[in-house]
Amino acid sequence: MILPGIVSETVAAHPHPLLFATISGAHLYGFPSVDSDFDIRGAHILPAREVLGLIHGEATIETMLPGPPEVDLVTHDVEKFFRLLLKKNGYVLEQLLSPLIVVTTPEHDELRAIASRCITRHHAHHYLGFSESQWRLFDKERPRRVKPLLYVFRVLLTGIHLMQSGEVDANLPRLNERFALPYIDELIATKTSGHEQQTIPDTQIEFFTAEYERLVALLELEAERTSLPEDASARDALHDLLLRLRGA
């Protein structure tokens, strides 16, 4: 994937060393439009003096540059990022494991290896909640748009696949090679051939509502019968890595 120069320039201007930075959003999910922005997510490393003293550095740093293309860079300090990993947050797992890497380090590779020990059966709650919020967003708009509907199905299929396999995959075209839902490819083609505001005909809403409800039920079922553990087992490994990153 060839990145616009503005992406590299934005990351290079970050005020702190980066543990990693990856591409998230529509590019990671496999359905960018010609006018999609670039969502860059990662983790930065605050110096020890900014976490041990009374004056703390920024735990989250956001940078938004207008386009085209628009670049949205959000990073968390490593301690916050590690705590999010332990809180069953699927979003940070997807960022960490994204194959679309802008910045990497040896410690990034180490953290990716630790990530499997952060995954639990309770990640299903993240994907159920996220899909519900995306469905509400989709359903309140008139006319309804393709983009939030794709997010609904991307989230549900990622969650189902995670419960079944223990593997994080946020790429909808690749997921659909497994699930073989014909309407997914059609929705992706509609969005990627047009722009962010592509819409859904009202005549299709009943069908997509039924599919949403079916996949929610399937995710709930897979969460009940998954072999994933109840709790993460990566706390000690994350603790050790954090101390090393702080130079302790």
pLDDT per position as a tens digit, 59-91: 999 999 987 889 999 999 999 999 999 999 999
pLDDT at 68: 83
pLDDT at 67: 75
Asked if residues 26 and 36 have their Cβ atoms less than 8 Å apart, the reply is yes
**Interval 204-230 mean pLDDT:** 98
Q: What angle do CA 169, 174, 179 make, to 5 degrees?
A: 95
Query: At residue 236, does pLDDT exceed 90?
Result: yes
pLDDT at 34: 85
Query: At residue 181, does pLDDT exceed 90?
Result: yes
**Domain spans of the chain?**
5-118, 123-225
pLDDT at 84: 98
pLDDT at 223: 98
Q: How many CB atoms lie within 10 A of CB 119?
A: 22
At 92-150, the pLDDT tens digits run 999 999 999 999 999 999 999 999 999 999 999 999 999 999 999 999 999 999 999 99
Q: How far apart are CA 61 and CA 170, in angstroms?
A: 24
**The model's pTM:** 0.96
Cα distances (angstroms) measured from residue 34 to each of 38, 60, 113, 196, 201: 11, 29, 34, 8, 22
Asked if residues 102 and 10 have their Cβ atoms less than 8 Å apart, the reply is no
Cα distances (angstroms) measured from residue 232 to each of 35, 165, 221: 39, 16, 21
What CATH architecture does domain 5-118 belong to?
A: 2-Layer Sandwich (3.30)
176: tokens are 């659909």
